[in-house]
Amino acid sequence: MSEIPKCANSVKGNGCTYSDVRLLNETEEAWVFKCHTCELIQVVSKDGIRDKSRFESAAKRRQEAIEMQQRWEKRRKYF
């Protein structure tokens, strides 16, 4: 992220007259900003986090499908 985002209340016109946004915290997944004018807290995700979580979810679903198929093939067969 190259710049601090503007206050969402200021952008939407919800009463924040002076967008005084400051960085509050940074985690591995996101940045947390706070507007000191209207006390709004914003969480902005870092780039690539959504793609990473989508990939992890798809891998988990694929692994569950493989395990389900293996259980299905191991079951007792009646003829």
Residue range 15-51, pLDDT digits in tens: 777 778 888 888 888 888 888 888 888 888 887 666 7
- pTM comes to 0.54
Counts of helices then strands in the chain (DSSP H, E)? 2, 3
DSSP 7-38: PHHHHHTSS--S--EEEEEE-SSEEEEEETTT
State which of 14-18, 27-31, 59-63, 72-76 shows the largest mean pLDDT: 59-63
DSSP single-letter state for residue 15 = S
Whole-number average pLDDT of the chain: 82
